[in-house]
Structure 1
């Protein structure tokens, strides 16, 4: 397998509220969190990212970069802004969202917990290229984790409240952790 590209073309398309997000120096970032959108496509992920969920600040939930299935990369939030993408770890981390259906559209139904869409090679190659770029640009970056590694809360299932399901399962069982860890030079937080 070839090494990851030295850099990745990134299209900048910041969210409308990006200037309202808290700033931080690049040296404050030591963790990258891998997510999947659990949505059907990039346009739907954009619509979700633009929603204002925190009226006091006028901001919402979003990762920093979104990687489509074809390997294209879009920056929604610059690394120097704190995005809302993972509970308890936002000030120290950046979030990368991979377009993938995950459990969409019944995220919390007990009978719909399989995450069976594979990650295309073009998307994983783009992820490795982005990680290589981030390692050069963020001097303190040392760690990587999946959203599911950091948010382990269990909640009542939407279709059967007597059953508990994981609130977050992304990037899920088909994410190629061995390939990514072998190439990215970061240490996974268990």
Structure 2
């Protein structure tokens, strides 16, 4: 019995020692801590300095822009600041102006009056139509302002361009004294030219407006562009190319691009002319450029008048409202140069 107990005790002792040796072999060794980079401290961005507000006979003004002109955003003011006057409270401009704003004036629309000078003034000041400016034909250096640029004038009526409509809300209108057109024996419209003095006035005025409000070339338009089924002004005698070439105002196509499209169009234009799919393609291109029309796949009256309006602006040598290869080439060249965003 004693011998048995001795053997059991010796075995337990050996097992215990062996276990302790194993523990020592696998003893935990703490890992060397890995140093982590400290987060970079952001330097606070300095807030743009607020513009100084000047006071002139009780009216407040500021002319410093804080926003991004590339986005057609602007905080500059070209008139006095209009503020609320709530009873019992004081409106302060401690944090004025916020940078999230832009101009209401996004379009410049050109018209002719279809009247002589005196009648143009009477109609545009005493009746339910108006414009911000009137360019006379009297040979002087005066341009008549009829409506504050910050106010809506009633010059565009029912109107559309690209994704915008009711352009009275977002445009400045310039009326040019011109008697418009008469129809000859065949019904063709014969338009009256504009004087050199008028064109110079319009160019100087348009340049000033476009620069101040950062109006893009695609938004300098004829009344006939934004209402092609009911308006013809300022017609094919207005020198759009001259404004583009000499004053960098508005749109015009590149001749090389036009010629390239014309070479392609001449190969199959005549054979495809009456195909509904081809008519639909042309209507879609007109709509893509900016005109508002139905995609009917037919040479309907609305499509013809839209083509005529397009020709007034970009192909004044031929404004019969019929889509030919050259008009089609010009349209494609313009869509390539001024893609819709």
Instruction: Report TM bin, short chain.
Output: 0.5 to 0.7
> Which 4+ runs in 1 deviate beyond 6 A?
none
1:98 to 173, 176, 190: 176
Q: Which has the larger radius of gyration?
A: 2
1:61 to 129, 132, 138: 129
2:255 matched to 1:179?
no
Question: Paired residue for 2:107?
Answer: 31
Please point out which of 149, 163, 168 is paired with 1:79. 149
Residues 184 and 26 (structure 1), Cα distance of their counterparts in 2 relative to 1, 3 Å cut? farther
Quote how far apart the aligned CAs of 1:111 are: 4.7
> Residues 63 and 83 of structure 1 are in contact (CA less than 8 Å); yes or no, is this contact kept in structure 2?
yes
Alignment TM-score, normalising by the size of structure 1: 0.65
TM-score by length of 2: 0.38
- Structure 2 residue aligned with 1:145: 221
Pick the structure with more strand per residue: 1
Alignment correspondent of 1:169: 232
Task: Pick the structure with more helix per residue.
Answer: 2
SS state at 1:145 partner: strand
- 5+ residue gaps, structure 1, are 1-22, 53-59, 154-166
Unaligned runs of at least 5 residues, structure 2? 1-81, 83-100, 158-165, 252-289, 291-309, 311-341
Per mean C-alpha deviation after superposition, the further-off stretch among 88-97 and 64-73 is 64-73
User: 2:90 maps to what in 1?
Assistant: none
Tell me the number of residue pairs that the alignment of Structure 1 and Structure 2 aligns.
Answer: 140
Residues 117-156 of structure 1 mapped to structure 2, 5 A cutoff: 117-138=192-213, 140-142=214-216, 143-153=219-229
Contact 2:224–2:232 at 8 Å: present in 1 too? Answer: yes
CA drift of 1:34 comes to 0.6
Check conservation: 1:72, 1:123, Cα contact below 8 A: no
CA–CA distance in structure 1, aligned partners of residues 188 and 116 of structure 2: 15
Contact 2:243–2:249 (CA under 8 A) maintained in structure 1:
no
Q: Which has the higher contact order (CA 8 A, sep 6+)?
A: 1
Equivalent of residue 50 in structure 1, options 120, 125, 135: 125
Tell me the SS of whatever aligns to 2:232: coil
Rounded Cα–Cα distance in structure 1 between residues aligned with 2:106 and 2:116: 30
Q: How far apart are 1:47 and its partner, in Å?
A: 1.1
- Cα separation, partners in 2 of 1:26 and 1:46, compared to 1, 3 Å: farther
* CA drift at 1:83: 0.5
Structure-2 separation of matches of 1:169 and 1:180: 19
